[in-house]
Chains A and B, each alone.
Chain A
């Protein structure tokens, strides 16, 4: 349905190619949640793609489908050109060392009953890497800024949140993956610790040539780390562009709304009236045509009848909107709601 993104990319073979990915969850009673509907994206080697959207828009479903933790209902996921959908379990197990994930909750992502060294070594054991592991484990702990002799024998509850997240990163890195999926990886951390972890990820990316899929609802964080940004709404990508274009020249009305909703850290600036009003439509019964039309200030009859495809506007800038545009050429809608974080939590 969407434009053939892969062919428009300048470089040769992307590390990850996702095409027409569909993920549906079944609810008791027969209803289906359309978590991800026909999403296509690619990741070039060494780049960071930011994936932004409200809670429940399907960001994590995309991450888990790419990693085959929850195989997609249809579509294709290729890592290094190798199709992952429908692959045999033995080969999938091998490929899993190439693509790893870091989660939001640093404490919950570590087994409380195991020591740091055993947690970091786990991937090596699962993948059957030759013994001994200690040298590599300790080196990886040093790589993420932890002293293996000080923390190696501790358990997660004896560490701070930031240290736990470093351990989680070490657990992934010890397998030397090509792709690292960060699913809200810094959202649960304090601002200062968040900056440290972001710097660490940036540093590791440069040193190890990692490719990152960086999922977040925090536009400021995504701005800081991403090369390109994809904005998601209700299971679909509505805008995908280099980071400067997204933040400097947003075309989709939803992107406008998200950027407008970022509070300015200055008490003298009055809160702008929210551009985004109303609730996200239900992913169980998404609207016809454009899924954003129920909240869109630019919506017209065409939007209900015809679904806008993700198509290139300029080089590398894709928008799925019938009426893309940079300016507020539409009437602002004011409501009584104030300060509501429309980017979700």
Chain B
């Protein structure tokens, strides 16, 4: 509950007009006091984000051990108001299933889809991008063209096409979202490899007889890893939202397995009479995505060696 109470603070500090969005952006504030105040606020936010994600993660992993109602069977009347029954604090959904149980089991889907597909995208995109940037030439042209084609394709159409071809399942979902997350990593890793490959320590390694594989894994990768990892947090947030959108469209995880997007979708019909059916999963969703964004942003600034070398 700490995170929810702390919400106004985190939201207020999270909207920072001086900070340019996206990767590579850097704080340009000049006042030392401002910087220090922002540093403290950002630390508080990071702690809240870690606490919230920790809570969601522990609940999602330990769901089977918790005394939760089954997520796929009614435990009471439909659309019961939250807080009236001790063991169902979040109320029940349209057909009387436990909202708490569905939210926690839904976290499993949302988090595993978000994290696994980003890890896959990171591995594939990071490798391809490093190879493209390091070797350049035709290889770079081929990888770059493929990458641009994926980027140019409207993501939702791509996802619809993939779900139409393959069976609707968790692996399909993870795979297709991994494809979507790959291009960003390709670009990031390629740019990093390009900027590092002519650096003198790489040339020094070559002059001592290092192989391409050794240069890629021992010289370039350690330098690119931090920026790729910190960017992953931001992409996890994007992918969780994408999964939610797919579930909302009925293209995500097949029912009765719950997911946050699916919960919002089924609650939509009762928005006028029982808004909690939509708002409960939506708030959980919002806090989770916000936490990933906060951590990603902080990690990016923390591990941006060029920026930290200046301070």
Chain A positions near chain B (C-beta within 8 angstroms): 67, 69, 92-94, 96-97, 100-101, 103-105, 108-114, 122-123, 126-127, 157, 168, 171, 175
Point out which of B199, B207, B223 has the most chain A C-beta atoms below 10 A from its C-beta: B207
Q: Which of B199, B204, B222 contacts A101 (CB 8 A)?
A: B204
In the complex, what's the smallest C-beta–C-beta distance from B198 to chain A, in angstroms?
10
A127 close to B200 (CB less than 8 A): no
A122 close to B208 (CB less than 8 A): yes
Point out which of A94, A105, A108, A157 has the most chain B C-beta atoms below 10 A from its C-beta: A108
In the complex, what's the smallest C-beta–C-beta distance from A302 to chain B, in angstroms?
42
B204 close to A126 (CB less than 8 A): no
A97 close to B208 (CB less than 8 A): yes
In the complex, what's the smallest C-beta–C-beta distance from B45 to chain A, in angstroms?
28
B145 part of interface (Cβ distance < 8 Å)? no
In the complex, what's the smallest C-beta–C-beta distance from A41 to chain B, in angstroms?
20
Docked Cα-Cα span, A97 to B207, in Å, equals 8
Given A111-B222, A113-B223, A114-B222, A127 and B208 contact (CB-CB distance below 8 Å): yes
Q: Which of B209, B219, B223 contacts A127 (CB 8 A)?
A: B209
B203 close to A103 (CB less than 8 A): yes
A96 close to B209 (CB less than 8 A): yes
B95 part of interface (Cβ distance < 8 Å)? no
Docked Cα-Cα span, A126 to B309, in Å, equals 30
A96 close to B222 (CB less than 8 A): no
Point out which of A101, A104, A111 has the most chain B C-beta atoms below 10 A from its C-beta: A111
B205 close to A69 (CB less than 8 A): no
A92 close to B200 (CB less than 8 A): no
For A104, what are the chain B residues with a Cβ–Cβ distance below 8 Å?
200
B270 part of interface (Cβ distance < 8 Å)? no
A-B pairs, top 6 by smallest CB distance, nearest first, are: A109-B200, A93-B209, A113-B222, A96-B209, A103-B200, A123-B208
Given A69-B207, A100-B207, A112 and B305 contact (CB-CB distance below 8 Å): yes
Q: Which of A101, A157, A175 contacts B309 (CB 8 A)?
A: A157
Docked Cα-Cα span, A124 to B102, in Å, equals 58
B135 part of interface (Cβ distance < 8 Å)? no
A109 close to B209 (CB less than 8 A): no
Docked Cα-Cα span, A113 to B214, in Å, equals 15
A69 close to B201 (CB less than 8 A): no
Given A113-B223, A126-B214, A157-B309, A108 and B208 contact (CB-CB distance below 8 Å): no
In the complex, what's the smallest C-beta–C-beta distance from A100 to chain B, in angstroms?
6
Point out which of B203, B205, B209 has the most chain A C-beta atoms below 10 A from its C-beta: B209
Docked Cα-Cα span, A210 to B219, in Å, equals 28
- SS class of chain B's interface: helix, strand, loop or mixed? helix
B200 close to A112 (CB less than 8 A): no
Q: Which of B206, B214, B223, B305 contacts A69 (CB 8 A)?
A: B206
Which chain B residues (170-212) contact chain A, with CB distance < 8 Å? 199-201, 203-210
Total A-B residue contacts, Cβ distance less than 8 Å: 55
The residue on B at minimum CB distance from A181 is: B207
Offer 10 A-B interface pairs, CB within 8 angstroms, sorted by A.
A69-B207, A96-B208, A97-B208, A103-B203, A109-B199, A111-B201, A122-B205, A123-B208, A171-B204, A175-B208
Given A108-B199, A111-B223, A168 and B204 contact (CB-CB distance below 8 Å): yes
In the complex, what's the smallest C-beta–C-beta distance from B209 to chain A, in angstroms?
4
A126 close to B222 (CB less than 8 A): no
B201 close to A126 (CB less than 8 A): no
Interface flags, B219-233, vs A, CB<8A=1, else 0: 100110000000000
A126 close to B203 (CB less than 8 A): no
Docked Cα-Cα span, A104 to B200, in Å, equals 9
The residue on A at minimum CB distance from B206 is: A69
For B223, what are the chain A residues with a Cβ–Cβ distance below 8 Å?
111-113
Docked Cα-Cα span, A114 to B205, in Å, equals 13
The residue on B at minimum CB distance from A156 is: B201
Docked Cα-Cα span, A108 to B200, in Å, equals 6
Point out which of A69, A96, A113, A127 has the most chain B C-beta atoms below 10 A from its C-beta: A113
For B200, what are the chain A residues with a Cβ–Cβ distance below 8 Å?
103-105, 108-109
B305 close to A126 (CB less than 8 A): no
Docked Cα-Cα span, A175 to B305, in Å, equals 30
B208 close to A111 (CB less than 8 A): no
Docked Cα-Cα span, A127 to B209, in Å, equals 7
Docked Cα-Cα span, A92 to B206, in Å, equals 11
For B222, what are the chain A residues with a Cβ–Cβ distance below 8 Å?
111, 113-114
In the complex, what's the smallest C-beta–C-beta distance from A99 to chain B, in angstroms?
8
In the complex, what's the smallest C-beta–C-beta distance from A163 to chain B, in angstroms?
15
A69 close to B203 (CB less than 8 A): yes
B201 close to A108 (CB less than 8 A): yes
Docked Cα-Cα span, A111 to B225, in Å, equals 14
Docked Cα-Cα span, A69 to B214, in Å, equals 16
For A93, what are the chain B residues with a Cβ–Cβ distance below 8 Å?
209
Docked Cα-Cα span, A342 to B206, in Å, equals 33
B201 close to A109 (CB less than 8 A): yes
For A171, what are the chain B residues with a Cβ–Cβ distance below 8 Å?
204
Docked Cα-Cα span, A48 to B210, in Å, equals 27
For A100, what are the chain B residues with a Cβ–Cβ distance below 8 Å?
207-208
In the complex, what's the smallest C-beta–C-beta distance from B227 to chain A, in angstroms?
12
Docked Cα-Cα span, A111 to B305, in Å, equals 12
Point out which of A94, A100, A126 has the most chain B C-beta atoms below 10 A from its C-beta: A126
Point out which of A94, A123, A168, A175 has the most chain B C-beta atoms below 10 A from its C-beta: A123
In the complex, what's the smallest C-beta–C-beta distance from B224 to chain A, in angstroms?
10
Docked Cα-Cα span, A96 to B208, in Å, equals 6
Docked Cα-Cα span, A171 to B203, in Å, equals 13
Q: Which of A92, A103, A105, A126 contacts B205 (CB 8 A)?
A: A126
Docked Cα-Cα span, A93 to B214, in Å, equals 13
Which chain B residues (279-306) contact chain A, with CB distance < 8 Å? 305
Point out which of B204, B214, B219 has the most chain A C-beta atoms below 10 A from its C-beta: B204
B210 close to A126 (CB less than 8 A): yes
Docked Cα-Cα span, A103 to B210, in Å, equals 17
The residue on B at minimum CB distance from A168 is: B204
* Other A-B pairs, 19, CB within 8 Å; known A97-B208, A114-B222: A69-B203, A69-B206, A93-B209, A94-B209, A96-B209, A100-B207, A109-B199, A110-B201, A113-B222, A113-B223, A122-B205, A126-B205, A126-B208, A126-B209, A126-B210, A126-B214, A127-B208, A157-B309, A168-B204
